[in-house]
Amino acid sequence: MVIACADMDWGYDYDSSFTPEVYVDASYAPLFFAPRDVFYDIVFEDKYTTRFNDALVGEWITYLKGSTLADTQISTMLLNDGKTSGINDAYNALQKKQPLPANLAAVGSNEKAKNFVEFLYHAKVIDSHQGRQGGTATYEDTQSPGSRSTAKADWCLCTIPLPILAQIPLNVGPAMGAAISAVPYASAVKVGLQFKRRFWEEDDHIYGGITYTDLPIMNIGYPSTGYHSGGKGVLLAAYIFGINAMDFTAMPPEERVRKAVEYGSQIHPQYHEEFDNGVAMAWHRSPFTMGCFGMWSDESRARHYDNLCQIDGRIALAGEHASFLGGWQEGAVTSALDAIGRLHQRAVAQGEKA
């Protein structure tokens, strides 16, 4: 086998993108390949998993010539997806000295064939965070940097936002892996401005509601409570998406506030006189989400959504990003209920094996 490293990734600590020459079967993906990486010549390669199958199966057939394994059996084991009987069953049967699956009975009588089964099995499970019996998560207590703890569970329902999850080593198949890396997150910014008095009520008779504007601040939201309560008041002085949000994100926070005052004063001249203080939030600077919410297109829905929402071994994902109600708590809740329901069905169906 030839293994060549073509790592063009920026995350040297996180993943590598070995060329797919080693590829035979999707279940090998965690070992060798970060989906959605750039390859020389090929560019973005999402669906390469069968490209080298014929050559690889051919190599193994040559190697195993003279063993008890028929060519079709070798091919079946190499290309088996791990869900149907094949390499895993053959390995387990050998370990437990139990009868082999009928289609692989010939393995038991030949040393070369037995070694091949053991090799193939271990090649698939090495470095596996997600075993057949459950999942393990390694985490760091941010109060004690560098610490490492682990949590084990039968199942993992993961609600980590995709831009973060895409950077965490995760032992899922290439389909879910590609889906995790394929959802850009919307840019959004809010600016809150505090004024010395509630001039919008006192001067302009505005009680709640929203001003929509062509200005880069896009929206001004007025409080719906505490009318004429005296003293200072706070406006949602900007609620921004798209290019304007990217631009505001790129500004230092003080400048975002200054710009919100500047633009908003074209609508409410009182801003100049009454401005007291302000705060700005850009979702792409939120360290635990790196964005506001997942942006799906019709194309990416068609290509990746089902793969994102499937149960992959012992892992399922939930959150607004795994729903059709993107950006809403409702989407996150319904996604969680749906995922838990499916995990429950799976666990019940598996009985004691779960």
User: Using CB under 8 A as the criterion, which residues of the chain lie in contact with another protein when the complex forms?
Assistant: 8-11, 36, 38, 42-48, 51, 160-164, 166-168, 181, 183-187, 210, 212-216, 218-219, 239, 241-244, 246-247, 249-250, 262-263, 266, 282, 284-288, 290-291, 293, 295-299, 324-328
Closest separation between CB of residue 293 and another protein, Å?
Answer: 8
In the bound state with another protein, the residue whose beta carbon lies nearer, of 36 and 314, is 36
The string of DSSP codes covering 285-307 is: G-TTTSSSSB---HHHIIIIIHH
**CA–CA dist 147, 139 (Å, integer):** 8
The helix, strand and coil proportions of the chain, stated in percent and rounded to the nearest 5, come to: 40, 15, 40
Closest separation between CB of residue 230 and another protein, Å?
Answer: 28
**CA–CA dist 276, 257 (Å, integer):** 11
**CA–CA dist 304, 324 (Å, integer):** 13
In the bound state with another protein, the residue whose beta carbon lies nearer, of 57 and 218, is 218
In the bound state with another protein, the residue whose beta carbon lies nearer, of 145 and 230, is 145
Whole-angstrom CA distances from 281 to 150, 207, 222, 241, 255 are: 33, 25, 18, 12, 12
Closest separation between CB of residue 334 and another protein, Å?
Answer: 12
In the bound state with another protein, the residue whose beta carbon lies nearer, of 291 and 313, is 291
Closest separation between CB of residue 151 and another protein, Å?
Answer: 16
Structural contact between residues 282 and 315, judged by C-beta atoms closer than 8 angstroms: no
Closest separation between CB of residue 22 and another protein, Å?
Answer: 18
10-33 core/surface letters (b: 16 or more CB in 10 A; e: else): eeeeebebbbbebbbbebbbbbbb
Closest separation between CB of residue 114 and another protein, Å?
Answer: 35
* Amino acid identity, position 108: G
In the bound state with another protein, the residue whose beta carbon lies nearer, of 85 and 289, is 289
**CA–CA dist 304, 176 (Å, integer):** 8
* Amino acid identity, position 93: A
CA angle, residues 169, 173, 177, in degrees to nearest 5: 55
In the bound state with another protein, the residue whose beta carbon lies nearer, of 86 and 331, is 331
Closest separation between CB of residue 45 and another protein, Å?
Answer: 5
Going by C-alpha positions, the residue among 82, 131, 76, 79 that lies closest to residue 107 is 76
Residue 244, C-beta contacts closer than 8 angstroms, at least 6 positions apart:
189, 216, 217, 218
In the bound state with another protein, the residue whose beta carbon lies nearer, of 111 and 214, is 214
In the bound state with another protein, the residue whose beta carbon lies nearer, of 86 and 163, is 163
Closest separation between CB of residue 77 and another protein, Å?
Answer: 24
